[in-house]
Structure 1
Amino acid sequence: MDGGEAAAASSVDGGTESIRAAMFDVKGNMLGQFAAPYETRHPHPGWAEQDPDEWWQSMGKAALCVDTTCCTVVALDDHKKPLRPALLWMDCRAAEQASEILSRCKDYEKENGITKSLIAVNCDGNGPISAEWMLPKALWIKAKEPEVWKKSSTICEYQDFINLKLTGTLCVSSCNAAARWHWNGREAVEKADGTGGRPLELLRAIDLEDLQEKWPTRCLAMGQVIGKITKAAADHLQLAEHVDIVQGGPDAFVGMVGLGCVAPGLLGLITGSSHLHVAVTSEARTAKNMWGAYVGAPLPGLCFVEGGQSSTGSVMRWSKSLISGKDEEGMEYKDYDLMAANVSVGCDGLVALETFQGSRTPTTDPTARGALVGLTLSHRKQHVWRAFLESVCYGTRACIDGLSSAGVEFREIKMAGGVTRSQLWLQMHADVTGLPVVSPLLLLPFKRA
């Protein structure tokens, strides 16, 4: 930056619940951090929305490479102003559109009479397609809100919106595009004319060709410089105007790189509002029970596959708000863990499902919902708390088994995120999966008890 070694670097993480900023010195030591929350609205079951302008205002409270949630879809007008609330990554209203895309493209008959799938990922193109992804959400906006679609000049993501506010430049991250837009991330970076790696035939097959015109033309890999910060952004964030803005990517996949999971044989588990189980593969492998492989992600020379749970930390936050009494307003998550630690495994017959926002893998079902089964008058709030902790762990076990059945090999779990703050939950993950759990914050790994 400016030709010399930076004295410090700032990073921003736009998450589901808040936007966080941290400053690091050249040795990687954290110098300071700050977080500013914003609101998620659920106007209907399965829906989830946020106001893009709130992201920017919250970022001004904190303050530069940015990672964000993925795939949180934003529609902008000609003046680059949001036309509607953003469709949050966990929003699964586009289930019908996901099914439509799969039915049109799975057995697509080309002009020469050859039948093939136009979908490059997920079981050799046989699906599933997630309602969380870019194409179903774009198709939903076009079908259900045609006036918004007509007025939109740009369809992009949270990541792109923030970088636009920072630099005045629209630019998609190749990692986002490879993992959620059906792009070939490697080809998209190699061809700078705005045509490389785009799924043009797929767009034609689902009558969504006009989306290509609304997507950002420029595509950069994580770590590439987008440009200098604008004066308006520098004033908003109280930064110097010479700061370089560097391309980031999806929060979980940036975390994957941070954990060092950039070679085959390593499994990263990124935890927060959701769980993502990610592993680099030596080739673009597709199979049942997992998502991927994504070519050119998280970095252009790599491919990776994933398992996932849509609602994990968000379920615990919901559970805390449900069971907290007036005398417990100051209680923290660790206090509920202490109560739950005294409950026996299995919660005296109480079983929970964590699929509040649908299921990702090994079964992809956006209509799946959560549950508490086996409630009796003897159960207390600590039983409910532990039941949801256990349900997330068993969901993780199912995702990992799905990856294993597809031939993805690993010997331990490298974990980052909110779960690492809970010794009880870390031990549960190790017990249920049967694998050692290691984290940069742990001196010793958690092993199966």
Structure 2
Amino acid sequence: MRRIACTLGVDIGTSSSKGVLVDAGGSVIAAATVAHEVSRPRDGWVEMDGEVWWREFVVLARDLLAQIGDREDEVVITAIGVSGMGPCVLLTDADDVPVRPAILYGVDTRATAQIARMTEELGTEAIVEIGGSALTTQAGGPKVQWIADEEPDAYARARRLFMPASWLARRLTGAYVLDHQSASQMSPLYDVENERWHGPWLERFAPGIEAPQLLWAGEVAGTVTAEAAAETGLATGTPVVAGTIDAWSEAVSVGAHGEGDLMLMYGTTMFLVATGPQTLRTPSMWTTAGAFPGTRNLAGGLATSGALTGWLKDLTGADYQTLLLEAAASPAGAHGLLALPYFAGERTPILDPDARGVIAGLTLRHGRGDLYRAVLEATAFAVRHNVETMRAAGADIRRIVAVGGGTQGALWLQIVSDVTGLVQEVPRTTVGASYGAAHLAAAAIAEGGAAPVIADWNPMVTTVTPRPEAARRYDELFPHYLALYEATVPVTHALTALQRTEGTPA
């Protein structure tokens, strides 16, 4: 009987949780997924019960163990990696019982009043100097303040702060930790340049909350306890790394954490992470610590991307394959349609939670294929807007790596390359953040400098190149995309206010 050493990687995502077992050569030997939905109790609110994160980890771990249970070879899990959506704010009491559902990342836009108040009190310049970024709906600090303001009874019980990865690490090992990258998105509570909590603002805006110990994503947080082993079936004493936010774990999964790299994550939302050695600051993007010591990121994110394709699929009743075929038959520009993808507000670079979706140019001749193509093109224009903003801030983008479930669709990839003018590299394995978490775990326990190289684990297999004719068409349309937002802001903001008054779901 052969002994196969592998690592377990689990990621808690927006629409599902995924787990993989990966052997020492980078091959996925087992995989499992658990679908879930977030809660949207009010316009602009996006929440999730933190206990679900642990329950789904248990389900995934037992599923994966069952898959390898019948193998002739002995499969041994040598380490565990974790990651999850973020920045999320899950506050618990002293017994680690959540005081309320977790408030999710920038798609939750409830804390606008807290953002305004904190910005007025501290000043944008000081916030950017310490925290790296101006306060937006992505920042974790205002979300903590919202709970203190709006749910004081819940906040009075709060003692600890978690995100999905750190919550799993806590339940598995008992360690109370948070990785530097995740902490840097708790702006303004973290000092990006000095890589530490900023004590005065932590005490001011998160009073009574014990600061978690800071680790880097690939550092070992602890080992599996006997209690966690009994629940999950995993072996007591198995090392668990601190982990990080899913987009950064995705970048790890494809080796896109080098200087000059840009990771483009195709998912329910879309995320961009540019890596470099310097701390770049620009008001409309997010400056963060990197996943590894000595690195800095300039990041951005769309509030919707894959969520739009799902919305259109449900609206039309057509399956994805039909919609893709019809969209491919529509030319670049979708027969004169232009869409804004701001169906849930928008994160970077416009930082406008009150933005709304727009589809302009509709005529009776347009079909659902044109609409589907226009939605794909809208996300591509948003990516271009982010990339151009990053470059204007000084980001040296030399290499684009595409990751995530959306990379399975060749049409979407091609449209993004055509719109941005950028060549995209696609790796062999696009499992995503769970795969990156497994690699972090493997590297953490490697001895004598024998850490696995991600390029060996996951080589690039596809290159997507812009098509000149389509690129010229999109170059003509991009200024109109920018102008459409500016022209419609007064109307969409008024409609957003009306939606809030009527309680329209986000």
Q: Same fold (TM over 0.5)?
A: yes
2:329 maps to 1:312 = no
The structure whose RCO (Cα within 8 Å, separation 6+) is larger is: 2
1:118-140: CA deviations, max 9, x gaps?
Answer: 43368xx6x53111221110011
Kindly report the root-mean-square deviation, in angstroms, between the aligned alpha carbons of the 2 structures: 2.1
Q: Relative to 1, partners in 2 of residues 1:220 and 1:203: Cα closer, same or farther, differing over 3 Å?
A: closer
Alignment partner, residue 351 of structure 1: 338
Give the superposition deviation at 1:428. 0.4
Give the superposition deviation at 1:280. 1.5
- CA distance in 1 between partners of 2:276 and 2:143 (Å): 28
- CA distance in 1 between partners of 2:117 and 2:321 (Å): 44
Asked whether the 8 Å contact 1:77–1:151 carries over to 2, the reply is yes
2:169 maps to 1:171 = no
Letter in 2 for 1:231: A
Alignment partner, residue 111 of structure 1: none
Asked whether the 8 Å contact 1:307–1:402 carries over to 2, the reply is no
Among 237, 257, 260, which residue is 1:262 paired with? 257
Give the superposition deviation at 1:303. 1.2
Alignment partner, residue 112 of structure 1: none
- CA distance in 2 between partners of 1:257 and 1:301 (Å): 15
Give the superposition deviation at 1:339. 1.7
Give the superposition deviation at 1:209. 4.9
Q: Which moved more, 1:11-20 or 1:282-291?
A: 282-291
- CA distance in 2 between partners of 1:352 and 1:18 (Å): 27
Among 394, 400, 404, which residue is 1:417 paired with? 404
Asked whether the 8 Å contact 2:256–2:263 carries over to 1, the reply is yes
Asked whether the 8 Å contact 2:265–2:271 carries over to 1, the reply is yes
Alignment partner, residue 465 of structure 2: 447
Gaps of 5+ in 1: 108-115, 189-196
Alignment partner, residue 474 of structure 2: none
| Other structure's SS at 2:387 match | helix
Q: Relative to 1, partners in 2 of residues 1:78 and 1:411: Cα closer, same or farther, differing over 3 Å?
A: closer
Q: Which moved more, 1:33-42 or 1:409-418?
A: 409-418
Q: Relative to 1, partners in 2 of residues 1:289 and 1:79: Cα closer, same or farther, differing over 3 Å?
A: closer
Alignment partner, residue 77 of structure 1: 93
Alignment partner, residue 394 of structure 2: 407
Give the superposition deviation at 1:203. 4.1
| Other structure's SS at 2:237 match | coil
Q: Which moved more, 1:374-383 or 1:216-225?
A: 374-383
Alignment partner, residue 103 of structure 1: 120
2:115 maps to 1:120 = no
| Other structure's SS at 1:159 match | helix
2:210 maps to 1:202 = no
Q: Which moved more, 1:230-239 or 1:137-146?
A: 230-239
- CA distance in 2 between partners of 1:117 and 1:428 (Å): 40
Alignment partner, residue 18 of structure 2: 20
2:29 maps to 1:31 = yes
Letter in 1 for 2:267: G
- CA distance in 2 between partners of 1:439 and 1:121 (Å): 35
- CA distance in 2 between partners of 1:246 and 1:312 (Å): 30
- CA distance in 1 between partners of 2:212 and 2:104 (Å): 23
The TM-score, its normalising length taken from structure 2, stands at 0.77
Q: Relative to 1, partners in 2 of residues 1:298 and 1:120: Cα closer, same or farther, differing over 3 Å?
A: farther
Give the superposition deviation at 1:419. 2.1
Alignment partner, residue 191 of structure 1: none
Alignment partner, residue 153 of structure 2: 147
| Other structure's SS at 2:55 match | helix
- For residues 43-442 of structure 1, the aligned pairs below 5 Å read 43-63=41-61, 64-89=80-105, 90-106=107-123, 117-120=126-129, 128-182=134-188, 183-184=190-191, 187-188=194-195, 197-203=196-202, 207-210=204-207, 213-292=208-287, 294-295=288-289, 297-324=290-317, 328=318, 331=319, 333-441=320-428
| Other structure's SS at 1:349 match | coil
1:397-432: CA deviations, max 9, x gaps?
Answer: 000010111121223421111221000001001100
Give the superposition deviation at 1:443. 2.7
Asked whether the 8 Å contact 1:105–1:202 carries over to 2, the reply is no
Letter in 2 for 1:408: A
Asked whether the 8 Å contact 1:340–1:385 carries over to 2, the reply is yes
The TM-score, its normalising length taken from structure 1, stands at 0.87
1:342-366: CA deviations, max 9, x gaps?
Answer: 1122222332221222222222112
1:35-94: CA deviations, max 9, x gaps?
Answer: 001221112222111111222222222121100001121121222111211112221111
Structure with a larger share of its residues in helix: 2
Letter in 2 for 1:9: T
Give the superposition deviation at 1:288. 4.2
- CA distance in 2 between partners of 1:406 and 1:185 (Å): 17
| Other structure's SS at 1:91 match | coil
Letter in 1 for 2:198: P
Question: Aligned residues, how many?
Answer: 414
| Other structure's SS at 1:214 match | coil
Q: Relative to 1, partners in 2 of residues 1:334 and 1:185: Cα closer, same or farther, differing over 3 Å?
A: farther
Q: Percent identity?
A: 29
Asked whether the 8 Å contact 2:144–2:206 carries over to 1, the reply is no
| Other structure's SS at 2:464 match | coil
1:198-232: CA deviations, max 9, x gaps?
Answer: 1223346xx4251xx41443221111111111223
Give the superposition deviation at 1:178. 1.8
| Other structure's SS at 1:279 match | strand
